[in-house]
Amino acid sequence: MQASLRKAFREDGAVLIKGFLTPQQLSQCREAYDWAVDNHGPNAFRMFNDTEQQAHVDNANPVAKDRLEALVASLPLGCLFADLWGSENVWYFAEEVFLKAGGHGSRTLWHQDTSYLPWAGEHWGNAWISFESVPKRNALEIVRGSHRGPRYDGTTFRDPDDPTQPLHGGAPVDAAFPDRHTFVFRFFGDDATFQPLPSDSASGYPPQGSLFANELAGLKAGDPFRHPTFRRLICPDRGELP
Ligand X SMILES: O=C(O)CCC(=O)C(=O)O
- Which amino acid does the sequence have at 84? L
| Residue number of the CB atom closest to ligand X | 108
The yes or no reply on residue 138 touching ligand X (CB under 6 A) is no
**Residue closer to ligand X (CB basis): 145 or 222:** 145
Question: What is the C-alpha to C-alpha distance for residues 1 and 202, in angstroms, rounded to an integer?
Answer: 42
Residue list 159-218, contact with ligand X (CB under 6 A): 171, 182, 184
**Residue closer to ligand X (CB basis): 33 or 98:** 98
The yes or no reply on residue 146 touching ligand X (CB under 6 A) is no
**Residue closer to ligand X (CB basis): 3 or 175:** 175
Site string for ligand X, 88-127 (x = CB under 6 A): --------x-x---------x----x------------x-
**Residue closer to ligand X (CB basis): 8 or 139:** 139
Interface positions with ligand X (CB under 6 A): 96, 98, 108, 113, 126, 128, 140, 171, 182, 184
